[in-house]
Amino acid sequence: MRFSGFRVFKEALTGHHGWKPLWRNPAPQPGYDYVIVGGGGHGLATAYYLATTFRQARIAVLERGWLGQGNIGRNTTIIRSNYLLPGNEPFYEFSMKLWEGLEQAFNFNAMVSQRGILNLIHSDGQRDAYRRRGNAMLLAGADAELLDRDAVRAMYPWLNFDNARFPIKGGLLQRRAGTARHDGVAWGYARGADAAGVDLIQNCEVTGFRIENGKIRGLETSRGYIGAKTVGVAVAGMSGKVMALAGMRLPIESHVLQAFVSEGLKPVLDGVITFGAGHFYVSQSDKGGLVFGGDIDGYNSYAQRGNLPVIEDVAEGGMALMPAIGRARLLRAWGGIMDMSMDGSPIIDRTPVEGLFLNAGWCYGGFKATPASGYCFAHLLATGGPHETATAYRLDRFARGAVIDEKGMGAQPNLH
Ligand SMILES: Cc1cc2nc3c(=O)[nH]c(=O)nc-3n(C[C@H](O)[C@H](O)[C@H](O)COP(=O)(O)OP(=O)(O)OC[C@H]3O[C@@H](n4cnc5c(N)ncnc54)[C@H](O)[C@@H]3O)c2cc1C
């Protein structure tokens, strides 16, 4: 079924009896050519591009719960391509371009909204760093504008410009950045993959890998053994645990990241603002809630909830930047499990086991990467080689010392 304005109009006139489920609910087959482990954004996007762009068949996605139960449905929905390093910026700009055509490509409303992102500047050193980053973005074909204090004040007059510790001196603006509805992204990719013949198998937990003579043969799952010629693992916060089943130890730690939403308010914030110096960021949802967050909880955890000290820290960041937020009531708080890599950059690579591939290390920035991650992982699985924008995301870079340390702050997850 194709979605369109005409379809909505027709269904409204005929009692809405014509809508169909967005995807089938098939039983697992004995074997597939490609099995993707993890029905989050990256797993679903990989299956979608494998089946559509790369014209592969006999593909399944195995999800231990329901599609979208993980970080894809828990993030703060920010999409952007404002990176500095050559290993990162072309990849994230490729993702931004895919976002721009995504809804038309998979015929689903993912509420992609290019409302702009503003990174605030509080010191001369930060201005130099953002000027450099903006130039790197322009060189990679992205958009970037350096704003002075007056230009920021014209956009958001209610910010605390004269905070003694963090006076606002300007900002780096990417107008093409913004937000997208995270569930809509998961549902759109799932529907598109299903329509292209992919089996989306829910409540199917991978519990082991069958590896013979260094080659993948299939997967043990809670729904029985499933044979596979090629396996792509995209399980985000569970990467360490799942790859341990294949005998691998990853350069990844799992940490909780929390997010918050206020009660619905009248429109006050039409873009996304980040306050890197105090680590707080905020946007306003279409329902009116202020959606905000800050640092990861600084300990290893597989719980999808966080603790009070970080809530206090995030609230302090919010109060320093926009004191009016103190008048808003908090509606909800939640957490997701981050696969924090040691340099803050991802991994899209083959593993020492033939036919077994890994997509991981997205930290707290993997939502914006969803389209490019899926595309590049599908490219790797289908062709055996990396996509041109993802050549740096090698697993062995940690052993070689070729890290992609975007913030240049060293090998500790809480610094990225
Ligand atoms: C609070 C919060 C805010 C965030 N904000 C942003 C943001 O604004 N912008 C941004 O770019 N990124 C953001 N992120 C990060 C982003 O959400 C993640 O990096 C990204 O979603 C991870 O990829 P995924 O969607 O595939 O993960 P997930 O949705 O977590 O998918 C992994 C799936 O694997 C499944 N799985 C695990 N183990 C198994 C198993 N053994 N067998 C089968 N299936 C298994 C899980 O159930 C899960 O559904 C945020 C994350 C959080 C938690």
Q: What is the CATH number of the domain that holds 390?
A: 3.50.50.60
pLDDT reported for residue 384? 96
DSSP designation for 142: -
> Does this model's pTM top 0.95?
yes
Residue 100 within any structural domain of the chain? no
Q: Do 327 and 198 share a domain, yes or no?
A: no
Which of residues 287, 307, 341 is at a domain's end?
341
pLDDT in tens, 260-307: 999 999 999 999 999 998 889 999 999 999 999 999 998 899 998 889
For residue 39, how far is its CA from the centre of ligand 1 (angstroms)?
9
Model pLDDT, residue 65: 97
CATH at 320: 3.30.9.10
Ligand 1 centroid – CA 149 distance (Å): 36
In this structure, the answer to whether residues 193 and 234 fall within a common structural domain is yes
259 pocket-lining for ligand 1 (C-beta < 6 Å)? yes
- Exposure string of 188-199, with b = 16+ CB inside 10 Å and e = fewer, is bbbbbbbbbebb
Sequence-distant (≥ 6) Cβ neighbours of residue 157 within 8 angstroms: none
Residue 99 lies in a domain: no
Residue 143, Cβ neighbours under 10 Å: how many? 17
With bands split at pLDDT 50, 70 and 90, how would you rate the model's confidence at 236? very high
Same domain assignment for residues 32 and 61 = yes
pLDDT for 298 equals 85
**Residue after which a domain boundary falls, among 289, 311, 341:** 341
Average pLDDT, the chain: 96
Domain shared by 216 and 333, yes or no: no
Please indicate, yes or no, whether residues 320 and 276 belong to a single structural domain of this protein: yes
Q: Are residues 317 and 350 both part of a single domain?
A: no
In a domain, 363, yes or no: yes
Is residue 5 in a domain? no
Total H helices, total E strands in the chain: 10, 18
Same domain, yes or no, for 333 and 238?
A: no
Indicate whether 319 and 286 sit together in one domain.
Answer: yes
- Please, how many CA atoms are within 13 Å of residue 116, restricted to the half-sphere of its CB? 16
Q: Is the same domain home to 170 and 266? A: yes
Q: Which atom of ligand 1 is nearest to the CA of 363?
A: 19
- The closest residue, in CA terms, to atom 53 on ligand 1 is 336
What span, in angstroms and rounded, lies between the C-alpha atoms of 25 and 35? 16
Q: What tens digit of pLDDT does each residue of 137-164 get? A: 999 999 999 999 999 999 999 999 999 8
Tens of pLDDT, residues 324-337: 999 999 999 999 99
Q: What is the pLDDT of residue 57?
A: 98
In a domain, 127, yes or no: yes
Residue 90 lies in a domain: no
83 lies in some domain: no
| Token pair in block for residue 307 | 């603790």
63, 64, 74, 75: which to mutate for ligand 1, most atoms within 8 A of CB?
75
Q: How many domains does the chain have?
A: 2
Residue 412 is predicted with a pLDDT of 78
Please report the beta strands in 52-202, taking only residues with DSSP state E, as ranges in sequence order: 59-62, 78-79, 117-121, 145-148, 170-174, 178-179, 199-201
DSSP state letters, 308-360: HHHHHHHHHHHHHH-GGGGGSPEEEEEEEEEEEETTS--EEEE-SSBTEEEEE
- Cα 97 to Cα 382: distance, rounded to the nearest angstrom: 22
Domain with 307 in it: 114-177+253-341
pLDDT digits (tens, 9 = 90+) for 334-349: 999 999 999 999 999 9
Q: Is residue 19 part of a domain?
A: no
CA of 392 from ligand 1 middle (Å) equals 22
Phi, psi (deg, nearest 5) at residue 282: -155, 145
- Residue 317 tokens read as 């960041």
Percentage of residues in the chain with pLDDT exceeding 90? 95
For residue 411, what pLDDT band results from cuts at 50, 70 and 90? confident
Q: In the prediction, which pLDDT does 337 show?
A: 96
Three-state SS sequence of 278-309: CCEEEEECCCCEEEEEEEEEEEECCCCCCCHH
pLDDT tops 80 at residue 414: no
| Secondary structure element (H or E) that encloses residue 35, with its range | strand 31-37
Asked whether residue 271 falls in the same domain as residue 159, the answer is yes
- Identify whether residues 232 and 201 lie together within a single domain: yes
What is the reported pLDDT for 415?
A: 76
CB under 8 Å to 10, separation ≥6 — which residues?
18
Give the residue-averaged pLDDT of 95-120: 98
**Does residue 67 sit in the same domain as residue 133?**
no
State which of 42, 71, 370 you would mutate to test the pocket of ligand 1, scoring each by most atoms of that ligand within 8 A of its C-beta: 71
Cβ 208 under 6 angstroms from ligand 1: no
Q: Give CA–CA dist 270/118, Å, rounded.
A: 11
Whether ligand 1 lies within 6 angstroms of the CB of 182 is answered as: no
Helices 41-51 and 370-383: crossing angle, nearest 10°? 50
> CB under 8 Å, gap of 24 or more: what pairs does 148-154 form?
152/118, 152/120
Which of 285, 315, 341 is the endpoint of a domain? 341
Write out pLDDT tens, residues 344-371: 999 999 999 999 999 999 999 999 999 9
